[in-house]
Amino acid sequence: MATLEERIAQWEQMAREAPDDMAFFSLGSAYREAERFEDADRAFAKAIEMNDGMSRAYQLRGQVLIKLGREEEAGDLLTTGYKVAAERGDVMPQRAIGSMLEKLGKPLPEVQSAEERKAEVESDDTVLDRRTGQPQQRLPDPPMRGPVGKFIYDHFGQETWRTWIGQGTKVINELRLDFSNPQHQDVYEQYMLEWLQVTREEVDEYAKQAEQE
């Protein structure tokens, strides 16, 4: 696996050569892990500027702003992020943002629950896509085996998945991934989940809940 400094260099290169919301979000995440909080703030801000529906970018930028002592700014940002997460059904980011707002002494915005929003728009052929927050045509089948494939099938539509295939090709080429190498497969999955704004923890929790039903 690449070291943290190697990952920072990779994402800095991608942000220069193929700048998009994913590149800046991943770069911000790497800067945050390295405790380069000023750099992380700028990267997350750029990601949100390019895609104002990235709920995890709001969550992580809010954490960074708190680290920098900019709590009033964090409160305003997290209030917006809470609404974005609720609109897209991003349960774990919404929960994390809500916890930070409470610690900052900020009220939680009134929002429609994810269950209510999904009930309004979903059908056998339609899914409330988590990346766009809009209804999309459902995938015909899970795009891969296992819990990750099932999670994607239940939460993302065909348009978003087609967009990821193009983005994933860029990741493969930029990072020179070889799918015969299991570590490279893990790297690809990591970046896919980051682009979809999903954590492995969320996938595992969803799979566990499904087993209990």
pLDDT at 126: 92
Check if the beta carbon of residue 115 is closer than 8 Å to that of residue 94: no
Residues contacting residue 75 through CB under 8 Å, at least 6 positions apart: 101, 104, 106
Structural domain that includes position 87: 1-111
- Rg of the Cα trace of the chain? 17
If one counts the domains in the chain, the total is 2
Cα separation, 70 vs 179, whole angstroms? 43
Same-domain status, 128 and 207? yes
Rounded distance, CA 5 to CA 27, Å? 11
Beta strands in the chain (DSSP E): 126-128, 135-137
Structure-token match 């939460």, residue found? 155
Task: Specify the pTM.
Answer: 0.76
What's the pLDDT band for 114 if we cut at 50, 70, 90? low
pLDDT, tens digit, for every residue of 52-64?
989 999 999 999 9
Percent of the chain clearing pLDDT 90 (strictly above): 54
3 state DSSP class of 80: helix
Q: What is the pLDDT of residue 109?
A: 93
150-187 pLDDT, tens digit each: 999 999 999 999 999 998 998 888 788 898 998 888 88
Q: Do 57 and 155 fall into the same domain?
A: no
- 8 Å CB contact between 132 and 160: yes
- Residue 1, pLDDT > 70, answer no
* CA atoms of 74 and 68, how far apart (whole Å): 10
Highest mean pLDDT among 11-20, 46-55, 69-78, 105-114: 69-78
Residue where a domain stops, chosen among 70, 85, 111:
111
Whether 54 and 122 share a structural domain: no
Higher pLDDT, 119 or 67: 67
In the chain, % of residues over pLDDT 70: 97
Co-location of 100 and 142 in the same domain: no
* Tokens coding 77: 């940002």
Whether residue 206 is predicted with pLDDT greater than 70 in this model: the reply is yes
User: Within this chain, do residues 31 and 68 fall inside the same structural domain, yes or no?
Assistant: yes
Q: In CATH, what number is assigned to the domain containing residue 3?
A: 1.25.40.10
Among 80, 111, 142, the domain-final residue is 111
